[in-house]
Amino acid sequence: VANKHRYREKRSATQPVCRYSSDVKALVYYITDYITKSSLAFYDMFVFAQQGIKSIEQYRNPDRTESAVEKSRKLVLRCYNMIASRQEVSGVQVPSYLMDFGDHYTTHTFKNLFLFSIENYLQTELIKARLNTKEPDERTTEGMLRDFYEDPEEDGTKMNDEQFVLEKIANKNENTYVMVNTRLDYQCRSKDLSTVRLYDFNAQSSHGEHLSTEGTRMNERHSFESTHPQSASHIFIRHNNPVVPVLLGPQIPRREREDTRERYCRTILTLFAPWRSINDLCTVTQTDCISLVDNIVCRRTLSRQVFIDRFFVDIT
């Protein structure tokens, strides 16, 4: 990719003006991807690049002959200076990007959690359970599905497949990759982890292969149940330093909306109450709000009080 960018830069530098939009795009991509890490709109980048090209043409000496490499260097440098000056990039940042230093540092590590696909799975299981209690002529899913989504524009995502993430696993010889599904891992977790909540599970867990452990210092490890498709080859490894789950998908419904109260309660339960099936969260005739109150008052299974204080509405 870098060679392709350099070729386009050289080609555009030998012409009086960048006549091809792809050349300008390659130049802007090179500057923003490898140097400035820009967050400006792309049309602003085109304007700044155009100003840089005009300034080169304005001060060009026709009597001076330069190589294509030198022309390319000047073009990139002038356009970069034009863009960087608009972004207030410091002199310290510029060499750090050129020398491939890190561009941000955090105190925590983050891990994605595809919450909506898990919600969708649980909602489907709840609908199936409710349909089994109805007469054959009363079985319809249209009305049940309609109330699940907060906004009409979210309907396009309701049929999305579950998310399988390709994760890299390091072993002694080489790096290998494995397909990971958080819901399957959580549902098929070891019985020793029956009280672990989905939020904590995602924050503390990682996939690992069955390897020889002689003479090594190991993290806490647990096997999956036999129903897990990778139970024979992989295990659950608990991190010494938990990560921070990042909830992906539509936002959690607002707590003051009555029409999304059921989904809001189900989301809180899904994250902070231990479960293996929908029956652990609510029964066919029991609403999620009642079940949520039971969990808080009787079983005290919810954790992450800061999260609850922010999202939970008093429904007692």
Query: In this predicted model, what pLDDT tens digit does every residue of 39-72 receive, in sequence order?
Result: 556 556 667 667 777 777 777 777 777 787 887 7
The pLDDT of residue 138 is: 55
CA separation for the pair 18, 49 (Å, rounded): 10
The pLDDT of residue 260 is: 80
* pLDDT tops 80 at residue 165: no
The pLDDT of residue 287 is: 58
Residues of the chain with pLDDT > 90: what percent? Answer: 0
The pLDDT of residue 2 is: 46
Q: Which of 201, 159, 208 is nearest to 183 (CA)?
A: 201
* pLDDT tops 50 at residue 158: no
Could you tell me the sign of the dihedral formed by the alpha carbons of 41, 151, 289, 200, in that order?
A: negative
Mean pLDDT value across residues 202-211 = 69
Q: Provide the pLDDT confidence category of residue 87 given band limits of 50, 70 and 90.
A: low
Q: Output Rg (C-alpha) for the chain, integer angstroms.
A: 28
49 touches 24 (CB < 8 A)? yes
Tell me the angle at which helices 21-31 and 2-13 cross, rounded to the nearest 10 degrees.
130
Residue with the bigger pLDDT between 240 and 214: it is 240
The pLDDT of residue 85 is: 65
Q: Cβ of 171: how many Cβ atoms within 10 Å?
A: 10
Q: Which of 225, 247, 275, 312 is nearest to 122 (CA)?
A: 275
Residue 235, burial from CB neighbour count under 10 angstroms (0-12, 13-18, 19+):
middle
Q: What is the mean pLDDT of the chain?
A: 68
Residue with the bigger pLDDT between 2 and 24: it is 24
CA separation for the pair 296, 298 (Å, rounded): 6
Q: Which of 6-10, 102-106, 142-146, 226-230 has the highest mean pLDDT?
A: 226-230
Q: Provide the pLDDT confidence category of residue 7 given band limits of 50, 70 and 90.
A: very low
Q: Which of 1-10, 15-24, 285-294 has the highest mean pLDDT?
A: 285-294
Q: Cβ of 3: how many Cβ atoms within 10 Å?
A: 7
Mean pLDDT value across residues 293-310 = 49
Per-residue pLDDT tens over the stretch 100-112: 666 666 777 888 8
Per-residue pLDDT tens over the stretch 120-155: 888 888 888 888 877 665 555 545 555 554 444 444
CA-based diameter of the chain, in Å? Answer: 91
* pLDDT tops 60 at residue 166: yes
CA separation for the pair 225, 233 (Å, rounded): 12
Looking at the DSSP bridge assignments, the partners of residue 222 are 236
Q: Provide the pLDDT confidence category of residue 157 given band limits of 50, 70 and 90.
A: very low
Contacts of 252 (CB under 8 A, 6+ apart): 264, 267, 311
Three-state secondary structure along the chain?
A: CHHHHHHHHHHHHCCCCCCCHHHHHHHHHHHHHHHHCCCCCHHHHHHHHHHHHHHHHHCCCCCCCCCHHHHHHHHHHHHHHHHHHHHCCCCCHHHHHHCCCCCCCCCCCEEEEEHHHHHHHHHHHHHHHHHHCCCHHHCCCHHHHHCCCCCHHHHHHCCCCCCCEEEEEECCCCEEEEEECHHHHHHCCCHHHCCCCHHHHHHHEEEEECCCCCCCCCCCEEECCCCCCCCCCEEEEECCCCCEEEEECCCCCCCCCCCCHHHHHHHHHHHHCCCCCHHHCCCCCCCHHHHHHHHHHHHCCCCCHHHHHHHCCCCC
